[in-house]
Structure 1
Amino acid sequence: MHAEKISEIVAHFIGLFGAATDEARMRSNYLDGARPREADPSLSQDEVSSPAFASNLQLKDYDPGVDYRSVSYDINYGDPRHFDGVFEETLKKLAEIASRDLSAPHFGANVYLPGEKEEELEVFQGPGSVISHVAQANMLIDDDHLNMTGDQPELRDTSFVTHRLMEFSEKADASTPFSSYDRVDTQEGLRAIADDIHEYIQAARESGATTMESGEPQIIVLPDNQIDGVSTYTYVNGQLVEEAPSIDDFMPDRGIATPPAEPGKSDVPVEQDGGSGNSLDVAAGANVLVNVVEITETAIISPVTAVMGNYHQIDAISQFYVYSDRDEIASVFNHDDSATTVANNIAIFERSTYVDGKPDTAEPAAETIFPTAWRVSVIEGDVSFVNWIEQYHFISDNDTMTVTTTGSEATVLTGGNAAVNLASFLGIGMQYDLIIVGGDILDMNVISQIALLYDNDWVRAEDGAPGATVQSGNNLIWNLASIHNVGANDRFEAMPDYVVQTQKAIEDRDAAMPSGLSHDGNFEGYIGLNVLYITGNLYDVNIIKQVSILGDSDDVTQAVSNILEHNQGADIKIDTGSNAVVNIAQITDYDSFGQTTYLAGQLYSDAILIQGGLVEHDTSQPQPNSDHLANEVIAFLGEDEPLGGSEDAVINAGHDLSWTLAQPADVMQTVVA
C-alpha cells in the first residue's frame, strides 16, 4: 500500500509537470514569440455570460496513468555534463546547425554537446616480430685401414688432407665476401650488414662487371641491371642459360653404396642359378654430402603498402668451389677416364607478380563500391622478420687398404657415407588491406655457398697382380641458389597526400576515415579496410650460409692372392671417387600481393651474383704414420692413471643413443677458421 501511494504521488507530479509543459507550449505557439498582452480593460470580469453559452465538458475521476515516454539516450556518447554557464555555447551550437539548413536535433541524436568528448578511434595490437636462428652441423671421421692378406695394415698419415682443405677454405673465404657474417639479433647489426653489402656492390658496379668468356671457372660480378625486371635469369658458372640443369642428370652412380631397392612381389619362389663367381668390388668413395634449405616468407600479406621512409632491397648470391682430383693409377689397371669431376655453380633470380588463381567471372556492379569503415592495428616500434640458417658438413673418409681376390664374390665398402642437413621454413603472416610503415623497409636476401673436395687417390698393384677396372673420378660438386621475389619492380608510386592524412588520423586516434583513402582505386569493391600501422622500421631478412667439406683421399693396393687359382678370371672393380657435394638453397620472398607500393623516401635496389671456382692439382704424397705421438697427446694421456692388469673395461653401446645428441662446440674447428 505504501508503494502504491508513492507511485500515485509521483505520477500525479509528472502529470502536473506535463500539463504545465503543454500549457507553456500552447502559449508559445499562440503568441508566436511575442510578449504577453495586457488584459483588455473594456472587458469586465463580472460580465455575465450569454444565455446561449453551453459547455459539454464532463468531469472524470482522476487517472494516475503516465502517457509520457522519453526517447532513448546512448550514454556512451558523453560523460556527465555540467550545464552551468554553458547556455550561450548551446545557443551558438544551435545557430550553427540552423545555418547549415539541417533539422533541429532531438534529444537522442548523436550530436556534440558541450562537455562531451568526440568519438575516438579504437586500435588493436598488430603482430610481433619473428626471428629464427638455425645452425646444423655434421662432422664425421671415417678413416679406415684394411688389409685382406692377413698382414698388419700399414698406417698412413692423412693429416695433409686436412691441411690442404684448410688452404682451400681460406681461398674460398677470400672469394666469398658474404660468408664471413655472423648471426646478429639486433636491428643495428642487420643495418650494418646491409650497408656493407651495399658498399661492396657499389664498388663492383664502379669497377665494371666481369664475364666468363673462356668458360673456365672464375670470379664474376653481375650488377643489378642485368638481373632486374619481371622474368627469370639463370646463370651456370657465369653463363646466362635458358634453363637450369637437373641434378638427376649428373648424380654419380654409387655402385655398391646405393641403398638396396625394395624387392618386387612374386607369387612363386625366387631362385638364383649359378655360383657366386670370382669377383671383387671395392668402393672407397661414394660419399654424399647434402645441404638443403627452403624458405617461403610472406611476413605481412597486403596488396598495398605505404612507406614513409626509404625502401632498400638487396638480393645477393655468392657461390664458390675448390677441388683437387689428381690420381695416380698403376699402368696395369684399366682406368676409366670417361667420367670426370663435374662442378656447377647455378644461380636463379626470378621475379613475378602475385596471381590468386581465381577466374575473373564476376559481372560489373551497377554502382561502384568503396570502403566506408576501417579497422586499425598498430605496432609501436620496429618489426623484424629474420630467418638466419647455417649448415655445415665436414666429412673425412681417407681409406688405406690392401685388397686381394678370394675366389668368391667379395665386396668391400669403406665409403658410402651420407650426411644430410635439411631446413624448411614457411612463414605465413597476417593479412591486411593496407600497411603503413612509418620508417624504412629493409628487404634483404643473401645466400652464400662453399663446396670443398679433396679426392687425390693412389691405386697401386703388386707384381703379378691381376688387372682391374679403376674409377677415381665421377665426382659432383653442385651449388644451387635461387631467389624468387614476388612483386614487380615498377609497383612503386609517389606518396599521395591522403595516406599522410591517414597516418596522422591514426596517430590522433581520429575515428573518421579520410575521404581520399576511401576512394583509392586499389580498394574498389571493398566494404571495409583492415589497416596495419607500424610506427618504426620493417626488417624482412633471409640469410643462408652453406659449407660442405669432404676429404676422400684413398690409397688402395692390389695384392697377389696366396692361392693362384683365385686370380684366374677374377672380375675386379675399384672405385675411389663417385662423391657428391651438394648445396641447395631457395628463398621465395613475397614483397607485395598487389601492384602498388607508395614510397615517400628513396628506393635502393642492389643485386649481385658472385660465382667462382678453383681446380687445384695438389702434388702432396702420402707418408707413413709416425709411431711418435705429439707432445700435446702425451701430456693429455699422462693425466690418467693406467689400468691395472686385473681391471677390465667393457663398453656396450648397442642401445645407447645419446651420441646422437652430442655436438662439438666448434664443429668446423680450424677448417673454416
Structure 2
Amino acid sequence: MNTGGISETIWHFAGYLRIPETTLTGDVLYDGDHARLRPDDDPAVFIDPLRQPQFDDLASQRQPFLEPVFPEPALHAAKLGSPSLVRPSAVAAPALRSSQPQQSDDAFDSSDHASLIYGKRLITVQYQDGGTETLLSAHQVNHIDDRDILTSDAIRYPNGDLVVPPEAHTGQAFAHMVKEAYAATPASMPLEAVGNTQSLIETIAGRDQAWSQDGHLPGEASSSQAPTGRIVDGHVSDAPLPEPPMTQIAPWREAATPEVHEITASITALGPTQGIGTIAETGLNTQINQAGILDVNEATGSLMIGGNYYFSRGIVQVNVLTDNDHVDIATDNQALPSVLTHGNEVHNVAEFVSHDMTAFYHGAAATPLWNVDVLQGNFYDVKTVVQFNGLDDSDRTVQAAAGTYYEADTGGNLQNNFAQITNLDSYDIIIVAGDYHRADWIYQYNIVLDSDVAKLFLSHDASGGVTDVSAGFNRLTNSADITTYDSAGFTDMNGAQHDLLNALSSHATVLTPNPDWKLAGNSSGTLKVLYVSGDYYDVNVISQVNMMIDVDQSIQASATSGSRQGVASGGNYAVNDAQIIDPGTLSTSKYLGGQAYEDSILIQTNLITDHDTVTIHDTSTLVPELVAFAHDAEVAAATDNPFCKPVDTAHHDILI
C-alpha cells in the first residue's frame, strides 16, 4: 500500500460508512412482514439507558411506542383508577408491531430500581404484610393493711379492763369520697374505660363518632386550643409548691446535723439519754406513682389521611382530703401544749407543651424504591398505664410514761410505682385510608382520709413537761404534662394524592412520580411507607390513683415530772407524677381527605374537708379512758413510794 495514496484513503474511511445504517433510521414493520434479523453485536447494549443519545440535526421521525402487556393483575387494576401510572396517549397510526419482543415488569427495573418509559423516571413499589401494632396495658398495684394496736397495762378502765380504742368504721365515709372524686371525670371518657385496651378503644371510637355527628361533645367544657403555661390549681404560676419542714410535723426530731467522726459524752446520772417521754408517730405515710410514655411510632416525615382526624388531649386531676381531727388535752401544767392541725397542702399542676414543626419535606417523587408495609383493617397503637396505691394505716396506740423514753412508729409506710414505656418506629410516610384517632389522656386521683383522735393527760405532778400534737401537714399533689411535636394543621388532599392513595390500595407496583404528592423522601433511595386500609388508633393513657385511710387514735398519759408527750398523726404524702411525650408529623407535610376535630380538656379539682376540734382543759374533767389512770396517779403521789404498783412496761403491739 502506498503511503498517502488512494489505498490508504479507503482504508481510513471504510469503517465509517456503516455508521448511519442502524442508528439514524428505525425499523418499521407492518403486519405480515418478516422480522429482520438483528446483528450479533446489538448497539443498544452500549447505550446508557439513563441518558438520551445526542445526534446531529438530521431528518428523523419519532418512533411510535406500543405499551407492553403486563401479566400482573394488580397493575391492571391500578391503571384503571390512577392516571399517575404510565399510560401513553394513543397514536393514530396504521396497525404496527414493534420489532422488539414483549418484556415483563422486570425489564423496566434498572440497578437503582428506577424505570424509563419515554424518558420518564418510574418508581418501583414493593409490598409486604407489616406494621408493628401495640396493645399494651400495664397495671401496677400496691395494697397495705397496717392497722396496729398498741396497749398499756397502766391505762385501764375503772373496771380493770385494758383501754383499747374502738376500731373506726371508715367504709361509708371513704366510699363517699371516692364517688366525689370520680364524679369530676368527663362522661365521654370515664375512668372505667382505662382498665383495658378493648374498652378504651370502644370508648374512643364511640366518642369520636358522636364528635363528628354533633361537631362537639355535649356536657364537656373543652377547647380546641390547649391552655398555655404551667397551670397550678387553675392559675398560671411558676412558683414552687410549699413543703412543710419536718420540725413542724415532728418537733421532737432533731434537725439534721453534719456527720461527726468523734463523739465525746459524759453521763453523770442514770436515766434515758433522751429524757422521759412517750412519742407516737402514726402518720408520715408516703404514696408515689410515677409514669412516662414516649411514643415515637408516629414521628414521620409525612402523613396522609383519607378520612377524618380526631385528636383529644385531657388532664384530669382530683384531690379529695378529709382531715377532721379531734384533740383533747387535760393538763395542769402552766405551759400550754402545742397543737397543730393545719398545714395541709393540696395542689394540682398541669402543662400542655406544643412544639410547632414548620419544616417542609418533599422528595418522595425522587425516591426510586418504595417499601410499603400493608396492614389490612384497623391499626392499633394503644398504650395504657394503670397505677394504684391502697393503704389502710388506722392505728390505735395507748402509752403511759413510766420513767423511760418510749417512741412508737406505727406509720411511715412507703408505696411506690414506677413505669416508663418507650415505643420507637421509623416510617418516612404513614398513609391511612380511613380515620385517624389520636388521644393523650392523664387521670390523677389522691383520696386521703386522715381524721385523727388524740387524747392526752399530764398530771399536776408532771411539772416541766412538754406536749406536742401534730395532726395536719398532709400533702396531696398531682403533676402532669403532655408534650407534642406537630405542625399546626392539615392541608386538603389534592387530586394527585387521591390517585396515589387509590394506586397503593390496588397494590400498583409501578408509579409515575408526581411533584404534587409533596411527600417526604429518603436520600438512601428507599422509602419506608406504612399503608393502613382501615382506621388508625394512636392512644396513650395514664391513670394514677392513691387511696389512703389514716384514721389514728392515740392516748397518752403521764404523771412523771419533766416528761414529754408527742403525737404526729398527719404528715402524709400522696403524689402522682405523669408525662406523655407524643411526637406527630415532623413537618407541614400533612394531608387530610375529611375533617379535623381537635380539643383539649383540663380539669383540676380540690375537695377539702377540714373541721378540727381542739379542747385544752384542766384535770378536773377527764375523758373516760383516763379517769382510772388519774386516780391511780393521785394515790401514788400520796404515798412515800410513787410507784405503788408494778407497771408492765412491755407495751403490746398486736397486728390485725
TM-score, normalised with respect to structure 1: 0.65
The one-character-per-residue Cα deviations of 1:28-86 (angstroms, maximum 9, x if unpaired) are: x9xx99xxxxxxxxxxxxxxxxxxxxxxxxxxxxxxxxx9678999xxxxxxxxxxxxx
Give distance in 2, aligned partners of 1:138 and 1:535. 42
1:436 is aligned, of 425, 431, 438, to: 431
Residue of structure 2 equivalent to 1:146 = 150
Which of the residues 176, 184, 198 maps onto 1:185? 198
Structure 2 residue matching 1:180: 3-state secondary structure:
helix
Determine the C-alpha separation between the residues in 2 that align with 1:594 and 1:521: 10
The answer to whether residue 466 in structure 2 is matched with residue 452 in structure 1 is no
Q: Give the paired residue count.
A: 502
What corresponds to 1:276 in structure 2? Answer: 273
Counterpart in the other structure of 1:475: 474
Q: CA deviation at 1:477?
A: 0.7
TM-superposed deviation, 1:425: 0.8
Q: Is the 8 A contact 2:365 2:517 kept in 1?
A: no
Q: CA deviation at 1:193?
A: 4.9
Q: Give the C-alpha shift of residue 257 in structure 1.
A: 12
Alignment correspondent of 1:397: 393
Amino acid at match of 1:138: N
C-alpha spacing 1:470/1:197, structure 2 compared with 1 (3 Å):
farther
Question: In structure 2, how many angstroms separate the alpha carbons of the residues matched to 1:257 and 1:312?
Answer: 57
Provide the TM-score with structure 2 as the length reference.
0.66
Q: Is the 8 A contact 2:327 2:613 kept in 1?
A: no
Q: Please tell me the residue identity of whatever aligns with 1:470.
A: V
Residues 68-107 of structure 1 mapped to structure 2, 5 A cutoff: 93=66
The answer to whether the 8 Å contact 1:374/1:530 transfers is yes
Q: Does 1:593 align with 2:591?
A: no
Q: Structure 1 pair 244/607, CA: closer, same or farther in 2 (3 Å)?
A: farther
Between 1:517-526 and 1:181-190, the stretch displaced more is 517-526
Task: Flag the structure with higher strand content.
Answer: 2
Q: Corresponding residue for 1:499?
A: 497
Alignment match, 2:11: none
Residue ranges of structure 1 left out of the alignment (5+ in a row):
1-24, 34-66, 74-89, 206-220, 357-366, 562-566, 626-673
* Alpha-carbon distance change, 153 to 445 in structure 1, aligned in 2, over 3 angstroms: farther
Match of 1:243 in 2: 238
SS of the residue 2:434 aligns to: coil
Work out whether 1:487 is the aligned partner of 2:496.
no
| 1:128 equivalenced with 2:132 (yes/no) | yes
Select 1:161's aligned residue among 141, 164, 170.
170
Residue by residue over 1:160-209, the C-alpha shift from the partner in whole angstroms, topping out at 9 and shown as x without a partner, is 2222111111122222233232424275454125557898973346xxxx
**Could you say what secondary structure the match of 1:224 adopts?**
coil
How many Å separate the matches in 1 of 2:256 and 2:98? 86
Give 1:202's aligned residue.
217
Counting only pairs closer than 5 Å after superposition, residues 32-51 of structure 1 correspond to structure 2 as none
Contact 1:337 1:471 in 2 (8 A): yes
Mark the CA change 1:390 to 1:526 in structure 2 (over 3 Å): closer, same or farther.
same
Q: Deviation string for 1:455-483 (max 9, x for gaps)?
A: 11121123516441111101001112222
1:149 positional shift: 4.5
Change (3 A) 1:607 1:115: closer
1:374 aligns with 2:373: no
- Quote how far apart the aligned CAs of 1:503 are: 1.9
SS at 1:122 equivalent:
strand
CA distance in 1, matches of 2:406, 2:91: 108
Paired with 1:116 and 1:423, the residues of 2 have a C-alpha distance of: 51
Paired with 1:117 and 1:615, the residues of 2 have a C-alpha distance of 77
For 2:292 and 2:191, the matched residues in 1 are separated by: 18
Task: Give, in angstroms, the shift of residue 604 of structure 1.
Answer: 0.3
What is the aligned counterpart of 1:537 among 526, 529, 535? 535
**Which amino acid is 2:338 matched to?**
H
Q: CA deviation at 1:541?
A: 0.9
Are 2:244 and 2:343, in contact at CA under 8 Å, matched by a contact in 1?
A: no
Partner in structure 1 of residue 52 of structure 2:
none
Tell me the CA shift for residue 538 of structure 1. Answer: 0.7
> Does the CA contact (< 8 Å) of 1:227 and 1:233 recur in 2?
no
Distance 2:282 2:176 in 1: 24
The residue type equivalent to 2:433 in the other structure is: G
**Distance in 2 separating the partners of 1:137 and 1:381:** 34
Distance 2:364 2:600 in 1: 42
Deviation at 1:295, TM superposition (A): 1.0
Q: Deviations over 1:260-314 (max 9, x none)?
A: 99996x8x65555557120443211000111221111122331110011100001
User: Could you give the per-residue CA deviations for residues 311-346 of structure 1, whole angstroms, max 9, x where no partner exists?
Assistant: 000111222222111222234462343851111122
The alpha-carbon distance between structure 1 residues 337 and 392, as it changes in their structure 2 partners (threshold 3 A), is same
CA distance in 2, matches of 1:91, 1:597: 41
Q: How does 1:511-530 map to 2 (within 5 A)?
A: 511-517=509-515, 520=518, 522-523=520-521, 527-530=525-528
SS in 1 for 2:510: coil
1:280, 1:409 within 8 Å by CA — same for their partners in 2? yes
Structure 1 residues 179 and 92: CA distance shift in structure 2, 3 A: closer
Distance 1:261 1:453 in 2: 29
In 2: Cα distance, 1:446 partner to 1:226 partner:
15
Supply the AA of the counterpart residue of 1:384: Y
Q: Is the 8 A contact 1:392 1:546 kept in 2?
A: yes
| Structure 1: distance between partners of 2:90 and 2:310 | 54
Report if the CA contact (8 A) 1:502-1:514 is conserved.
Answer: no
Gapped regions of structure 2 (runs ≥ 5): 1-20, 30-38, 46-62, 69-87, 110-123, 156-160, 615-622, 626-656
Letter in 2 for 1:137: V
Please tell me whether the aligned partners of residues 466 and 562 of structure 2 are also in contact (alpha carbons under 8 angstroms). no
Residue of structure 2 equivalent to 1:290: 288
Cα 1:554–1:174 change in 2 (3 A) is same
Q: What amino acid sits opposite 1:484 in the alignment?
A: T
Match 1:304 to one of 286, 302, 305 = 302
CA distance in 2 between partners of 1:581 and 1:335 (Å): 26
Q: Kindly report which structure 2 residues correspond to 1:2-17, keeping only aligned pairs within 5 A, or say none.
A: none
> What is the one-letter code of the residue matched to 1:169?
V
For residues 446 and 518 of structure 1, the distance between their equivalents in structure 2, rounded to whole angstroms, comes to: 36
Distance 1:433 1:141, change over 3 A: same
Q: Secondary structure at the match of 2:229?
A: strand
Larger Rg: 1
* Contact 1:307/1:436, CA 8 A, preserved across alignment: yes
**Paired letter, 1:179:** L
After superposition, the C-alpha distances for 1:484-513 in whole angstroms (9 at most, x for unaligned) are 12213x231111222222222223333333
Instruction: Report if the CA contact (8 A) 1:201-1:606 is conserved.
Output: no
Specify the code of the residue in structure 2 equivalent to 1:459.
A
2: CA distance between counterparts of 1:388 and 1:534?
Answer: 22
Specify the alignment match of 2:184 in structure 1.
Answer: 175
**112-121 vs 326-335, which moves further:** 112-121
Give the secondary-structure state (helix, strand or coil) at the position aligned to 1:515: coil
Tell me, yes or no, if the aligned pair for 1:146 and 1:153 is still in contact at 8 Å.
no
Q: Distance in 2 between matches of 1:311 and 1:570?
A: 71
CA contact (8 A) 1:256 1:413 kept: no
Pairing partner for 1:604 from 574, 587, 597:
597
549-558 vs 372-381, which deviates more?
Answer: 372-381
8 Å Cα contact 1:156/1:624 also seen in 2: no
Q: Sequence identity, in percent?
A: 22
Q: How well do the aligned residues superpose, as a CA RMSD in angstroms?
A: 4.5
TM-fit CA distance, 1:405: 3.1
Taking the aligned partners of 2:341 and 2:518, their CA distance within structure 1 comes to 65
